[in-house]
Structure 1
Amino acid sequence: MKQAGTQKGILGRIERAGNALPDPVFLFLWLIVGLVALSVIASLVGWQALHPTEIDEATGTSRLISATSLLSGDNIRRLWVDMPTTFTHFHPLGYVLVVMLGAGVAERSGLFGAAMRGAVRHAPKALLTPFVTLVGMLGNLAADAAYVVLIPLAGIVFHAAGRHPVAGIAAAFAGTSGGFSANLLPGQLDALLFGITEAAVETVFGDFTANIAGNWYFIAAMTFVFLPVIWFVTDRMIEPRLGTFDPSRAGNAPTGGNPDKELTPAERKGLKMAGLAVLAVCAMWAFFTFGPDTPLIDEDASAEARLTPFYQSLVAGFFLLFLLAGWAYGKAAGAINDHRDLVKMMAGAMEDLAYYLVLAFVAAHFVAMFAWSNLGLILAVNGADFLSGLGLPAWALLTAIILVSALLNLFVGSASAKWALLAPVLVPMLMLLGLSPEMATAAYRVGDGATNIITPLMVYFPLILIFCQRWQADFGLGSLAATMLPYSVGLMASGLLLTIGWVVLDLPLGPGAGVFIEAPGALSQNTPAGAR
C-alpha cells in the first residue's frame, strides 16, 4: 500500500490537497478569522442590501441592511457574553444528541449488527448484490456500525456464494457511503442536516422550525434509484473486471469469525422483541396523532400548519424508537442485564460524540458570527438578484449546487462541516428565488454522497482498503479508487436526473415540504450601488 501523499495523477493531487487542509475544527477557526477580516472590509466600503421581508416604518420601503464589523464593540461583547448560548442554541446539537442517545443503545446492544447479519447472510444468491446494497443504505441509520459490520461481512458472504469477495465489499461500500443520504426512513443525518438548515434560515428570516421529515419522500426515492445503479455497476462492470477470485493472492482472508457467525437463538429472540418495540412506538405515535385530543395535531392552526407538532416530535420519536428497540433486543439477547447497562450504553454514545461537540462549538460560532456581520443576508440577496437576472431554471441552479457539493466533498469529508459552511448563503439565497430550504438540503445531499467513495480523505477509506487487502493482498489505494469510480459516476448521474425530474414535476419532498415556496420578498430592482 502506498503511503499518503505518494499517489500519482489526479488521485495524488486530490490526496495531497486534502491532506494540506487543516482538521475541520481548525478549518472553521481559520474561516472565522477570514470572516472577521471580511466583515471589517465590508463595513468600511459600505456593503449594503435591502432586507427582503422587513419594512422600514419611517419610509415605508424595505429596510436597508449594512455590513457590520465583527470587531465592533457590540459584536465583541456578544461573542464573549453569549458564548454559552451561541453553542447550546445551535440547532443541530440538540437534534443529534437526542437521537444518538437512543441510537447508541441500539448499536451497543448489538441490535444493528445482528439485524444486518441476519438480513445479508440468508439473501438469495441471485439477489445478493441488491440485498447487500439495500442493507448498506438502510444501515446508515446505524451510523458507523454499517462500515465495521456490513462491509467486511459482504466480502465473506460473496465468497461463500462463489463470487469475488472484493465485489461484495465494493457493493456494500457503495450502498453505505455512496448512498449515504438514501434511506426509507429519516434518521440521524436528517436531524443533523436540518438543524443546520434551520440555523441558516434563521440568520436571515428569523424563527423557522425545521421538519426533519422534509426529505423523506426524496431520500426514499433515492433508495430505489440508487439500488439498480449499484446492482448494475457491481454485476456488469466491477465483478467481470475483477475476474475469478484467486485464493493464492489473498492476504489474511477470513475463514469465519464473528461477522460471519449464525445468529444465536438469543439474538433471534432479541430481533423479534426489537420488532415488537418498533411496532409499539409506531402505534404510540399514531395514537398521539389521531387519538383523543390529538396532541400532535394543532387543530387551531391553518391546514398547512396543523401537522407542525407531529413533525417537531419526530426527533423524540426516533430517540424512543431506537432506545426501546435496543433495550428490548439487549434484554432478550443478554446484552443488557439491568438499567445500569442501559445507562452505560447511553453514556457511551455521548462519548462517541466528543469530537462532534468540539466541531459543533466552532461551527456554531461561525454561523452565528456570519449572521451578526449581516454578510450572509447581503450575499444571499445579491446572489439571488444576480441569479434572477440570469434567468436560469430551478433545476440548473440545483445542478450547480450538487456539483459544488460533490467537488468540496473530495477535500472536506464531514457532511455537517460542509453544510455548515454552505448553508448560511445557499439556503437564504435559494429561498429568495422561491426554492424551499428542504430542496436546498436535498440537493446538497445528492452531491455529498456521490464522491464519498472515491476520496482517500473519507475517514473509512483506509479501513475499506484493509478489508479488500484481506482478499487480495496487492489491492492498493488506486485500485480501490478505480473500483469505486464507476459507482460514483453512476450515483452522480442518477442523482442529478432524480433532482431535475423532481423539480420539473414539482413533487413533494416530504410531508408538508415542497420544492418551491413563496419567495420571502421581491428582489429589489433599485438595490443601492454599494450592495452590488
Structure 2
Amino acid sequence: MQRFLSIIERAGNRLPHPFILFLILCVVVAIVSWLMAMGGASGINPKTGKEVFVQSLISGEGLVFALTTIAKNYVMFPPLGVILVIMLAIGVADRAGLIASLMQISVMKAPRQLTTFVIFLVGMCSHVASDAAYIVLIPLSAMIFQAVGRNPLVGAVTGYVAVGAGYDASLLITPVDVILSGITTSAAHTINPQAYVSPLDNYYFIACSALLLSLVGTFVIERIVEPLAGKYHGDVVLNLEPIGATEMRGLKLAGWAALAFVIVVVAITLPAASPLRNETGGLVPSPLLEAIVALLAVFFLLVGWIYGKAVGKIKNARDAVSLMSEALKDLAPTLVLFFAISQFLAWFKWTNLGEWIAISGSHVLDASGFAGTPLVLAFIMLATVMSVFITSGSAQWSLMAPIFVPMMMLVGLEPALVQAAFRISDSATNVISPMSPYFAVCLAFLQRYQKDAGIGTLAAMTLPISIGFLVAWTAFLVFWIEVGLPLAPGVGLFTK
C-alpha cells in the first residue's frame, strides 16, 4: 500500500500547479480549435436543430475575443461573486470562533456511544468553515477519543476522514455547493443558455448522504479500524479545555439570533402573496430559492457578529470588517485559480468545442444504448481515478463539467444529477491521496502520538473508510435513481 501511495504521490507531483495546468489547457484549446476548424468540424444540436461549427481561436476573430474578454471572463465566472459574498459572512462567524465552538460543544456533549457518529456528522457540516474544519476537528477528535479511553490515533483519523471523505455531503449549504453549482451552470449553458443549477440543487441527496455516511463511517471505524489499531500505549496526553462561560453565553445568544432569523424568513414567506414566492404562489422556482445565497450571508453575518460581540472578538464594525478581510486572505489561492479556470471555460465555450464533443459523445452513447444508471456509474469510476491525482475538487470539476455535463444533458440526465455523481468520487478519494495537504497534516498529528507512524499507518486506517464511502455512497445514488427521488425541491433526475 505504501508503494502504491508513493507512486500516486510521484505521479501527482509531476502535474503542474492547477493554475498552470489550466493555462496550458487554454493553449491546447486554441490549437485543437484551429485544427478542427480547418477540418470543418461540425454537428447538429439535437435540442435546437442548429448546426454547430467549431471556431478557431487562432484567427483574427479568436484573437480579438481572447484579448478583449479577459476581465469579463473572470468577473462573469459564475462562482466568483457568490463565493466572495458567502465567505465575507462566514468569515465573521469563523474568525470570531463561533464555528469552532459549535464543533467542540457538539462533539463533547455527545453520549459516549454516539461519539464517532457525531464526529462524522459534525465533520460533514463543518465545511461552512471551508478547509479550517481539518485544523479544528483532527486534534479535537483525538483528544476526545483519549478522554473516553479510546485510541487517540483513531480519533485523529476519524476527524480527518469525517471532513475529507465526507467533503461533499452535509446537512448545511456550504461553499462547496456554491462553487460546484456555479461551474455546473456554466457548463450547462452550452446546451441550454437558460439553465441554472443553484447551491440547493443537490440538497435532498447530500443531506441524506450525510446521515448515511455518518453511519457507514461509524461502522468502519468501530468495527474495522479501531480493532486493528488496538489500544494506545503511549504517554502523550493532550488536555481538552472545556468551553468557557463566555463562549457558552455567546453560543446561546447566537442560537437565539438564528432562531429569530428563521422565524422572520418563514413569516415573510408564508403568505400566499409573499414577494419571495413565484407568480402562482409556489416556492419552486421562486425568489426565495434565488435569494438563498443572500439569506445565508445575512444569517452567518448576524450570528457571527452576535457571538463575536459576546466573547469580545468584535467590539465595533471595524473589527468585523477586519475578520472579513482575514477570510478573503485565505480565499486568495482560490481566487487566483478561478482566473485561469474562467479563461479556459470561456475559450472552450466560444470555440464550440464543448458543444461539438457533447453532440458527438451523445451520438456514441445513443448508438451504444449506454445511458441511465450504468452511465452514471461509469462516470463515477472515471472521476474517482482522476480525483486521486487532482485533489482540488473545483479544478477537477472545471475540467470535467464542460465535457460531461452537456454530453449527459443530451442523453437525458439533469446537470444536477451529474454534479451529484461527481461529488461522490471527489469526496471518497480525498483521504487516501498523499497529494492532499491535509494528508500531511493528519500524518504529522499522528506522529505526535506515535513517532514511528508513517504513510502506511495512515493509509491502513483511511483506506477502509475511502472504500466504504465509495461503495455505500454509489449504491445510495443508484437507489436514489431507481426509486426516482428528487435531488432537491423541484429538481428531478432526467430531462426526458
TM-score range, shorter chain: over 0.9
How many angstroms does 1:372 deviate by? 0.8
Distance in 1 separating the partners of 2:194 and 2:427: 30
| Contact 1:181 1:189 survives alignment (8 Å) | yes
- Matched residue of 2:156: which SS? helix
How many angstroms does 1:434 deviate by? 1.0
Partner of 1:530: none
In structure 1, give the amino acid aligned to 2:37: S
Partner of 2:243: 263
| Contact 2:182 2:198 survives alignment (8 Å) | no
Deviations 1:107-127 (CA, angstroms, capped at 9, x unpaired): 100001111111112222211
Structure 2 residue 148 is the aligned partner of structure 1 residue 161: yes
Distance in 2 separating the partners of 1:8 and 1:45: 48
How many angstroms does 1:332 deviate by? 1.0
Partner of 1:49: 43
Distance in 1 separating the partners of 2:364 and 2:430: 31
Please show how residues 226-375 of structure 1 align to structure 2 within 5 Å: 226-247=213-234, 253-256=236-239, 260-291=240-271, 293-299=273-279, 306-375=284-353
| Contact 2:371 2:411 survives alignment (8 Å) | no
Please show how residues 15-54 of structure 1 align to structure 2 within 5 Å: 15-54=9-48
Distance in 2 separating the partners of 1:474 and 1:137: 30
Partner of 1:527: none
Distance in 2 separating the partners of 1:52 and 1:86: 28
In structure 2, give the amino acid aligned to 1:22: P
Distance in 2 separating the partners of 1:161 and 1:360: 44
Please show how residues 76-475 of structure 1 align to structure 2 within 5 Å: 76-247=63-234, 253-256=236-239, 260-291=240-271, 293-299=273-279, 306-475=284-453
Distance in 2 separating the partners of 1:53 and 1:288: 39
How many angstroms does 1:310 deviate by? 1.6
| Contact 1:106 1:322 survives alignment (8 Å) | yes
Cα RMSD for the two superposed structures = 1.5
| Contact 2:139 2:156 survives alignment (8 Å) | yes
How many angstroms does 1:334 deviate by? 1.4
- Matched residue of 1:247: which SS? coil
Q: For structure 1, which runs of at least 5 residues remain unmatched after alignment?
A: 1-6, 55-61, 519-532
Distance in 1 separating the partners of 2:142 and 2:328: 31
Distance in 1 separating the partners of 2:158 and 2:450: 16
In structure 2, give the amino acid aligned to 1:338: N
In structure 2, give the amino acid aligned to 1:348: E
How many angstroms does 1:336 deviate by? 0.8
- Matched residue of 1:49: which SS? strand
| Contact 2:47 2:410 survives alignment (8 Å) | no
How many angstroms does 1:8 deviate by? 5.4
In structure 2, give the amino acid aligned to 1:117: Q
Instruction: Specify which of 6, 31, 40 is matched with residue 12 of structure 1.
Output: 6
| Contact 1:281 1:320 survives alignment (8 Å) | no
Deviations 1:344-403 (CA, angstroms, capped at 9, x unpaired): 111111111111111111100111100111110010111111111111241111111111
Partner of 2:458: 480
In structure 2, give the amino acid aligned to 1:285: V
Partner of 1:524: none
In structure 2, give the amino acid aligned to 1:17: A
Instruction: Specify which of 475, 482, 494 is matched with residue 472 of structure 2.
Output: 494
Q: 1:168 to 1:375 in 2, by over 3 A?
A: same
- Matched residue of 1:163: which SS? coil
How many angstroms does 1:24 deviate by? 0.6
Distance in 2 separating the partners of 1:110 and 1:267: 9
Structure 2 residue 495 is the aligned partner of structure 1 residue 514: no
How many angstroms does 1:254 deviate by? 4.5
Q: 1:306 to 1:477 in 2, by over 3 A?
A: closer
TM-score of the pair, normalised by structure 2: 0.97
Q: 1:75 to 1:290 in 2, by over 3 A?
A: farther
Distance in 2 separating the partners of 1:189 and 1:29: 23
Deviations 1:98-148 (CA, angstroms, capped at 9, x unpaired): 111111011100001111111112222211111111111111222123211
How many angstroms does 1:300 deviate by? 5.0
| Contact 1:136 1:150 survives alignment (8 Å) | yes
Distance in 1 separating the partners of 2:216 and 2:2: 29
In structure 2, give the amino acid aligned to 1:314: I
- Matched residue of 1:98: which SS? helix
Distance in 1 separating the partners of 2:186 and 2:237: 47
In structure 1, give the amino acid aligned to 2:7: R
Distance in 1 separating the partners of 2:81 and 2:273: 28
Distance in 1 separating the partners of 2:396 and 2:264: 36
| Contact 1:203 1:368 survives alignment (8 Å) | no
| Contact 1:99 1:188 survives alignment (8 Å) | yes
| Contact 1:296 1:307 survives alignment (8 Å) | no
| Contact 2:191 2:409 survives alignment (8 Å) | no
Distance in 2 separating the partners of 1:76 and 1:276: 56
Question: What count of residue pairs does the alignment treat as equivalent?
Answer: 496
How many angstroms does 1:288 deviate by? 3.3
Q: 1:97 to 1:65 in 2, by over 3 A?
A: same
Distance in 2 separating the partners of 1:218 and 1:344: 36
| Contact 1:198 1:208 survives alignment (8 Å) | yes
In structure 1, give the amino acid aligned to 2:147: A
Distance in 2 separating the partners of 1:29 and 1:288: 47
- Matched residue of 1:65: which SS? strand
Q: Which runs of 4+ in 1 moved over 4 A?
A: none
Distance in 2 separating the partners of 1:124 and 1:342: 35
How many angstroms does 1:292 deviate by? 7.2
